[in-house]
Structure 1
Amino acid sequence: MRKRLVPAMAVAALAAFTAGAHADVIIGVGAPITGPNAAFGAQILRGAQQAVDDINAAGGVNGEKLKIAVGDDVSDPKQGISVANKFIADGVKFVVGHYNSGVSIPVSEVLAENGVLEISPASTNPRYTERGLWNTFRMCGRDDQQGIVAGAYLTEHFKDAKIAVVHDKTPYGQGVADETKKALNGAGVHEVMYEGINPGDVDFSVLIAKMKDAGVTVVYYGGLHTEAGLILRQLADQGLKATMMSDDGTVSTEISSIAGDAIDGFTFTFPPDPRNREAAKGAVETFRKAGFEPEAYTLYSYASVQVIAEAAKAANSLDPATVAEEIKKHGIFKTVLGDRSFNEKGDTTNPDYVVYRWKKGEDGKYNYNQLP
């Protein structure tokens, strides 16, 4: 019998396939690692990395180890697309990210076309999961849920106040502001001002002058912590004694360093603090021992990796489409956030928002606490 000779190219291809079969499973983390929202990027990256470390220490997923690839989107949609294309070129099949809805929405379309599953820890605009894409999931709630809670709080406590609704013109900021406005209007409360600012603005004197002319006593702001902190400080500096409320995009202790003493009394919406959950106890201790406080979206990012890993194990597959189907049909996932499950759209079935307020503690430092 004649022996068949295998061409050198075929041998090389076989070797590459064999090596690839045992390659790491790369999870892309897309977030603002630099720029004004880097505090949130740090939360998302640290959460995902710790989850990967813990899962690998327990044996990995389906015999494979997980590995993180980082993409810095700088909260910019165009940069987010560049990150997505780099992930695709590098063989990433799962993405934890992005932070901004305005980034997650266009990025998810690129990822869907290229077979990549995405779980966002933080993007709350409803459109992210309302387009019927197979690959979009979120660990957090939605603006139309958060806006109801904010609107109800303002209606209960400030029904007769002169309210200004301000937003940063982004899908996230304007989205949550509009949902809060809708809730207010539905309860018979109508704002005296509705204004937009631009992300990156630093001087709000014209806006505040308009507020003074309108007699504003309450400000609702839809946007992120940097601009919120500056508005708070400038309200105080310009002598307008107005109560300010905002959203989950302001949940960073950095805002107090921006706002200074004006942070006192500032309120915002966010889910019940995940750091207090029994399921998160071990992870929280690990973060704190490493000198990192896992506030806001840190544990949401950790849970996103947990869901990917558990769904892959249950499906006995690392194919993103198969994992996506498993996430939707799986039922309850045990995560650091507690029990989590997902509907056909990819939204969590466990959304919950409450109100927090900043105040000075007995130690003279400002911090935020959930209101009863």
Structure 2
Amino acid sequence: MMIRSALAGLALALTFLMTAAPVSAQTVRVGIVIPQSGQFKLLGDHVRQAFEVWNAGNPGVFSDVVEGDDGCTEQSGKDAAAAMAEAGVDIVVGFLCTETLAAALPLLTAEGIPVMTLTVRADIIAEEAARLGWKFFRLAPRAGSEADIAADAIFRLWADQPFALIEDGAISGRELVEAIRIQLENRGLKPTFVDNYRPGQATQPSLMRRLKSAGVSRVFVGGERADLAVIAYEADYQSVPLKFMGGDALNAPEGENPIPEGTIAVLAAAATSGPEDQAARDAFAGHGLIAEGLRIPAYAAAEIIGAAATRMTYGETSLQDLLGQTTFSTALGPVTFEPDGERREPGFVLAILEDGSFRRLSIEDTAALAGDSN
């Protein structure tokens, strides 16, 4: 930093003071590995924009932001890891696909470079990281947390109601519903009805007959938003009074049929606005951007790395150690990483559909819904 002053003596004094003062922060060279083309390019753009917006409001913390290409293949993961190591980055954010993340982690760990993923939720990644000592941090919510939140919501809100767990036959839907069922039964609560359905249908008459015959009034749908909309439409057509809950798959554009008002969903925290993300949303708005997609999670990653950088002193605590020892205030709320790199906080919230959009479930909403059941 060059200090210009008409008074040479003052400039010399200031320079002396700056040199003598202890260093309280150091700049960090950040790598972001994002899709540069293809169907996920838009998400890659979100990550880049988030770092640009944060950097504009906090100049001088990042010495550089280096980009790499995430082609969502094992080889592209290896290539990106090699490029990041050659660029001498201190940390890498991105690797939006499981294949690239798994391929890159051992290579970057060998170079002493930690990796933070914004999207990969597979539990196996953290298990392998813990077993093999990979330098891994997951800002994305862990897949198992979705079932934890859903099971707890069903237990609190539907315990005295006949309810069904249904899924679309896909691996994600089946695993989600099975995890919920096991957790509920471990707490002494069994679903009245468990079934699967064929997804992508225009109508669901046979499924609705089975639900009606089972006598349920509440249904958890482990499947896509479009399928829940068809099931709800069929329920209305056959005059079957049902209330619905679903997982993060409900965070999707509205299709031909709307899903019912009052539908409850377990959503990733970034999908709904909360007080913790207002500053980030304002920052994006100031650049003509809407806080959507991966912009909020990527902004939170920039906040975490920036906060860690301001705590670093030369030759003392490393970035890796600071990430594992600090609770960060971010646009996603508090973030604390466990020793295996998992985020301690669940990363999911309960939301309710109101006027066509999901908003977070309040304490008053929860009390009212529990009162409906009781």
1:371 correspondence with 2:361: yes
Q: Is the 8 A contact 2:266 2:351 kept in 1?
A: yes
SS in 2 for 1:193: strand
Separation (CA, whole Å) in 2 of partners of 1:211 and 1:48: 45
Cα displacement (A) at 1:246: 1.7
Residue in 2 that maps onto 1:281: 278
Residue in 2 that maps onto 1:108: 101
TM-score under structure 2 length normalisation: 0.68
Q: Which amino acid aligns with 1:213?
A: R
User: Could you say if the C-alpha distance between residues 89 and 134 of structure 1 is closer, same or farther in structure 2, counting changes exceeding 3 Å?
Assistant: closer
Q: Which amino acid aligns with 1:136?
A: F
**Residue pairs, 1:40-189, within 5 angstroms:** 42=42, 45-55=45-55, 58-61=58-61, 64-71=63-70, 79-91=72-84, 94-97=91-94, 103-104=97-98, 106-115=99-108, 117-131=114-128, 132=130, 133-159=133-159, 160-167=161-168, 169-170=170-171, 172-186=172-186, 187-189=188-190
Q: Is the 8 A contact 1:98 1:120 kept in 2?
A: yes
Separation (CA, whole Å) in 2 of partners of 1:61 and 1:251: 34
> Greater CA radius of gyration, 1 or 2?
2
Residue in 2 that maps onto 1:29: 34
Separation (CA, whole Å) in 2 of partners of 1:275 and 1:368: 9
Q: Is the 8 A contact 1:164 1:219 kept in 2?
A: yes
Q: Is the 8 A contact 1:48 1:96 kept in 2?
A: no
Identical-residue share of aligned pairs (%): 14
Q: Which moved more, 1:88-97 or 1:143-152?
A: 88-97
Q: Which amino acid aligns with 2:123?
A: P
Residue in 2 that maps onto 1:337: 332
Cα displacement (A) at 1:137: 1.4
**Residue pairs, 1:309-320, within 5 angstroms:** 309-311=306-308, 314=311
SS in 1 for 2:93: strand
User: Could you say if the C-alpha distance between residues 208 and 124 of structure 1 is closer, same or farther in structure 2, counting changes exceeding 3 Å?
Assistant: farther
SS in 1 for 2:346: coil
CA RMSD of superposed structures (Å): 3.7
User: Could you say if the C-alpha distance between residues 312 and 107 of structure 1 is closer, same or farther in structure 2, counting changes exceeding 3 Å?
Assistant: farther
User: Could you say if the C-alpha distance between residues 98 and 208 of structure 1 is closer, same or farther in structure 2, counting changes exceeding 3 Å?
Assistant: farther
Q: Is the 8 A contact 2:70 2:95 kept in 1?
A: no
CA deviations on 1:3-29 (whole Å, 9 max, x unpaired) are xxxxxxxxxxxxxxxxxxxx9743113
Unaligned runs of 5+ in 1: 1-22, 73-78, 361-365
Number of aligned residue pairs: give it. Answer: 313
**Residue pairs, 1:229-240, within 5 angstroms:** 229-237=226-234, 239=237
Unaligned runs of 5+ in 2: 1-27, 363-374
Q: Which amino acid aligns with 1:91?
A: M
